[in-house]
Amino acid sequence: MASGAEKISDIPTLAQKLMQEEWERIKSDAGWRIANKFKLDLIVGIKMQSFNHAPLSPTYLKHKARQGLDTRILIAKMDYLKSIRVQRKDKNTFITGVPRKAIHYSGLTYEQLAAIHEYGSPARNIPARPHWRPTIKKHIALQPKYEQEMRQRLLRNVERRLRAALSQKNQ
Residue 155 lies in a domain: yes
Could you say which DSSP state residue 78 is in?
Answer: S
Model pLDDT for residues 24-40, shown as the tens digit of each residue? 999 999 999 999 999 99
* Mean pLDDT, residues 104-123: 96
Number of compact structural domains in the chain: 1
For the segment 38-56, the average pLDDT, to the nearest whole number, is 97
Residue 15 lies in a domain: yes
User: Would 139 be classed as within a structural domain?
Assistant: yes
What was the pLDDT predicted at 4?
Answer: 54
Q: Is the pLDDT of residue 55 over 60?
A: yes
CA dist list (Å): 8 to 135, 159, 168: 49, 16, 13
Q: Is residue 125 part of a domain?
A: yes
Residue 170: pLDDT band (50, 70, 90) is: low
pLDDT grade for 168, boundaries at 50, 70 and 90: confident
Is 132 within the bounds of a domain? yes
Q: Which domain holds residue 108?
A: 8-170
Please give the backbone phi and psi of residue 159, each rounded to the nearest 5 degrees, phi first.
-60, -45
**Over pLDDT 90: what percentage of the chain?**
80
Tell me what pLDDT residue 171 has. Answer: 57
Please report which confidence band the pLDDT of residue 96 belongs to, taking 50, 70 and 90 as the band edges: very high
| In 1-142, alpha helices (H) | 11-47, 58-66, 79-83, 110-119, 132-141
Whole-angstrom CA distances from 32 to 19, 88, 92, 100 are 20, 8, 8, 20
Asked whether residue 1 is assigned to any structural domain, the reply reads: no
Say if 3 falls within a structural domain: no
Is residue 81 within 8 Å of residue 43, measured between CB atoms?
A: yes
For residue 141, pLDDT beyond 70: yes
